Structure 1
Amino acid sequence: MKSGAINLVVEGSQIDTEPFPLERQKNGETLRSALRVRGGQETFSGLTIRQGRTMKEDLAEIKTRHINADGELEIDREVTEKQVDDIEFFEVNTEFVITESTRDDAARELLSFAMDGSVQQALIDVVEFAKANPSAEMNMAGTDQGSNVDHITAVGDIQHATDLPDDVRDHPNILLGFEDLEWEQRELRGFITKSGYLAIYEPSEMDVEEYSRFVREAVLPFATPDVS
């Protein structure tokens, strides 16, 4: 399985790691942010893929607790400690970046700084994506986490539907499952969300280069940056 959240490089240049680590002050503590990359060689398909990691320190309140003899929960101590938000990514052709989750705001922030531009979460028109793949089975439109439209669990054959609820077209948490999607003489199975998360279950051996090509060729035409 290969999966990740699609982020668009709205403007920017190649990743520059020279300014890192960055430092900031919070509650008297020095907190650091760092970004590391590797790779950058062009593939046979013409893609330049750089894999890397963003790291950002922040302060978190830690409570240690126990259950006392009366069965009540008690706090032993409460301390503030440094924790690191550690996110892997890969960047393709200075066009888009794949992160681990659609909630990776810290990664987008550091990548925007490193690319001297703007890296923004992609929003996918899942209805048009479905219609562009008429041979595939796309009969599930559910929701990913945090949705307010839980009543939508199945929509049926959305490639040919003309009266879809507005929630299906517009809500950022819509999830679309697909099977038998033909691409490069193979049939793909997975899901994609309106909020830009793409998971490919089959073929299970799909690698980063193939995943990147699928995103570039089959998904980006239906992607717009989230400027909200």
Structure 2
Amino acid sequence: MKSGKLALLSSDSDTINEAHSQHELPGDAPFDAVSTALEIEEKLSLNEGKNCYIGKAAKEDVEYIESPEITEKGEIINTESAERRVYTTTFLLVPDEFVIVDNSAGKFLFPLLSEETAHTAFPAEINVDSFTAEYDDAEYWKVGFEGRADGTENGVLHGDAVFNDSEFGAVVTDSNKNQIGANFEYGGELLKLFLTKSGYIEVYQPDSIDSEEFSEFIAEVLLPYSQMK
């Protein structure tokens, strides 16, 4: 795993247990109950004695699907039927620090953790401006900006060394930044990173980065710039 949506954790335990629950639905619902499940697949040992848990979670929901139907009289009508839909996500979890799910659809895990485990999850924001100020020697190949008062409300600039762009470099340097793409040295390797203010993180390179290295990177480099929304 080397991408996902970040949340910060407040934990009452340094472990996490598997969980399976059924949640009853109201009497007029098409099904009696829906289920949630959380499985732990692996435990990793990180620096400073921290544990990282790799797992997956699933949540059932009821969705109403509208579809056309031909009646016996030859009329074309729309009918609605209820279906169980199962949403799944993989995750990395470091107790009392963070959890990251593989995409935005996996955000259902955040309230599930709070309800079923000793961990409370808070969706995170990343302070992109502080990150770029600290890593000013990185090579930035993408910068998104917002909230300018000079008529240029928002935008995204692509290219090599975008902060040095003769036309728009000053605009993005002085703006509130909401996303960046950067190349910089980490752990003796060149790392190609994309991250957003809303808490999405993706490491494009090196291809060989694994879940343990990704977790270490988040803990060491990105958590200092992360806060609860």
User: Which residue number corresponds to residue 4 of structure 2?
Assistant: 4
Question: What is the alpha-carbon distance in structure 1 between the residues aligned to residue 206 and residue 84 of structure 2?
Answer: 40
Q: Report the Cα offset of residue 221 of structure 1.
A: 0.4
Q: Deviations over 1:19-68 (max 9, x none)?
A: x223221443211111111222425774412111121111101123489x
Q: Does 1:157 align with 2:163?
A: yes
Query: For the pair shown, which has the larger CA radius of gyration, 1 or 2?
Result: 2
1:166-221: per-residue Cα shift (whole Å, max 9, x none)?
xx24xxxx221112x11111111120000111111110110000001110011000
Match of 2:92 among 86, 90, 93: 90
Point out where structure 1 has 5 or more consecutive residues left out of the alignment.
Answer: 68-73, 144-148
> Is residue 222 from structure 1 mapped to residue 225 from structure 2 by the alignment?
yes
d(CA) in 1 for partners of 2:97 and 2:47? 18
Aligned equivalent of 1:203: 206
2:101 aligns with 99
Structure 2 letter corresponding to 1:194: K
The correspondence of residues 1-228 of structure 1 with structure 2, limited to 5 A, is 2-13=2-13, 14-18=15-19, 20-26=20-26, 27-28=28-29, 29=31, 30-43=33-46, 46-65=49-68, 77-142=79-144, 151-154=154-157, 156-157=162-163, 164-165=174-175, 168-169=176-177, 174-179=178-183, 181-226=184-229
Which TM-score applies when normalising by structure 1? 0.78
1:91 positional shift: 0.7
Following superposition, the deviation at residue 75 of structure 1 comes to: 5.1
Q: Structure 1's 121 and 102: CA in aligned 2 closer, same or farther, altered over 3 A?
A: farther
2:126–2:227: 8 Å Cα contact kept in structure 1? yes
Ranges in structure 2 where 5+ consecutive residues have no aligned partner: 71-75, 146-151
SS in 2 for 1:120: strand
Asked if the contact 1:16–1:114 (Cα under 8 Å) also holds between the matched residues in 2, the reply is no
CA-atom RMSD, angstroms? 2.9
Q: Which amino acid aligns with 1:133?
A: Y
Q: Which amino acid aligns with 1:157?
A: F
| Conserved 8 A contact 2:56-2:91 | yes
> Residues 114 and 12 (structure 1 numbering): CA distance in 2 closer, same or farther, change over 3 Å?
farther
